[in-house]
Structure 1
Amino acid sequence: MKRQDFYYELPEELIAQDPLEDRSSSRLLVLDKESGLVSHHVFKDITDYLHRGDCLVINDTKVIPARLVGSRIGTDARIEVLLLKRKENDIWETLVKPGKKAKIGTKISFGEGILTGEVIDVVEEGNRLIQFSYEGIFEEILDRLGQMPLPPYITHQLEDKNRYQTVYAKHSGSAAAPTAGLHFTPELLEEIQKKGVDIARVTLHVGLGTFRPVKADDILEHHMHSEFFQIDEAAAMKINKAKDTGGKVICVGTTSCRTIESAADKTGHITAKSGWTDIFIYPGYEFKLLDGLITNFHLPESTLIMLVSALAGREHVLAAYEEAVKERYRFFSFGDAMYIG
């Protein structure tokens, strides 16, 4: 299977730069995964596709303000650091720009010395391990000094950090938002629960590997980065109950999908567990748990468009994307949504 099989033309002006004021007023394209039929709605209409006995799976990870801008101690050269994965003892795996200036032993100051970091190792793909030093609570310092790590295709500065968080974000650790969840409001979630739909919370801390372009021509040669996930007993019970009673398991976002598919057994059930996943879902994959997916529109040739193609078929997905372009939908992180069921 070739990377180019998942390409589509997207006019640049359709890349959403700002979130809508009302989260749930975005548009919703509904794709029937069997027939390929497409219909157009607003996101609030998602309740029409959720029924008593179904289970809606959400990813309650919280994005940390992981982008730090500092200066190299000794030369004052500007250095940008993106926190990717917390290791131990205030050591983080990071992406540093410019990388050439971040040799082992380089010391960086942030916020006029409130936070300092030293490069202690170079790991895969040139990422740096940085040991941080500070006084106080790291999360509070990060909240003060850090910026939200918006994807490179968003050129606007975000005025309100919370607009790059879901309303149900709880466990800090992501370098990017699970963006399909950005469309939900507390009121909409309440309405869904009143219909008798169970809401299962899982956690997957989204790494930047999610956005890493597929460079190999043969997609099977693409290497997925691992991400940490956690599923508790309550979530596992809700998902299994839906499966056992004829309800549908509908995931909000590719991250929730990858979480439950990583943890599912061959019988299509799930147990409470935590660990690391590097699952890569592409056409030919047989879903163990997932019945439906709420998602955003993804970059051409990305692992995410490959995942949705595994669910609905490549031809159906690319035809739906073509329709979305024609109808001037908004694309990517702050864009409109799609329901595949």
Structure 2
Amino acid sequence: MKKRVVRALVTGAGTGSSANLIRALRAMSPKPHVVGVNHDRFFLRLSIADANYLTPDPDGGEFTDALLEIIRRERIDVVMATNDNVVKVLSDHRRRYKIDLLLPRRETIDLCQDKYALTEFLRRRNVPVPRTFELKSLRSLNGIFARFSNEGLLWCRTRRGSRSLGATPVANIAQARSWITQWRDLRGVKVSDFTLAEYLPGRHFMVHSLWYKGTMLRTQAVEVLSYFAAGNNPSGIFSMCSLAKTVAAPEAVKVTLRAVEALEKAPTGAFFVELKEDADGVPAITEINAGRFPSGVTALLAVGRDNMVASFAAAAAGEKVSVAAEPHGSAAEYYMVRDIDAVPAVFPAEELLE
């Protein structure tokens, strides 16, 4: 029986995140019809989708109405969000959609978008997370630093937001106070939006898993090797990687699956988990992005026959999707390298020896 063409809608059309998703979708057979949407008319000009629509800003009330009309007009089967703001909007209005959004529960999405609340939730369930404290006021700094007993660097960041918003290592109270007040005074970020946590110096993993009604279809671990603009910020770390590789990381995968199963009894959808190792090599979860694919390493999730992006689209479209041949991730080592204004390149490790 001839398979029908999946009709997919991708938000953030024209951005690198949307382009990565679209290229992964086009590995499907037959190739899907892809519709791109964006509220920014300039980025929309860069879209590689088959059809494109300008929408209202997702933060406004008119976005959902516009999206529903596009879905109706284009006969869309699957919607794929590219950032947490759109995931939140889709989640909050999920009952208005007649198609399966393949999203985790609303409570899960809201929890994961508050990094401190998520850390506390996982800690109470014995899932490894860094010791983390919320900041009530600048006066809280003395007490928080005292709890760490001069153990070295602490990691300072905001409890909400993406792309390493407000994140930096700090060595003492003076540095933390200066960093936080600068964000408060120049960017309007509240002091109470910041947290301080133990600094994890080890390897940085991204583990993505795809679930359908309690069945884990596939997971894949990726190790981040270098970052964009690493030399332009105090930490040398940024949420966007420039070089990464697929790895077999059984401990990181184990922690990831424990976390997802703690969040949901019957998980459904995409879960993107970031972890760092402590000084002893034990991975701990630093954040979870529920309901979307990562913006940077999507190409590594589409390698080979177990294309996770294609599996998501097929499942959302109502097709039967089997558990991957290697459900806990491929042991084959693939590298992904990317740069600004360049299409990400993926190649097997053996090509480095040619």
Q: Same fold (TM over 0.5)?
A: no
Greater relative CO, 1 or 2 (CA 8 Å, sep 6+): 1
Question: TM-score under structure 1 normalisation?
Answer: 0.30
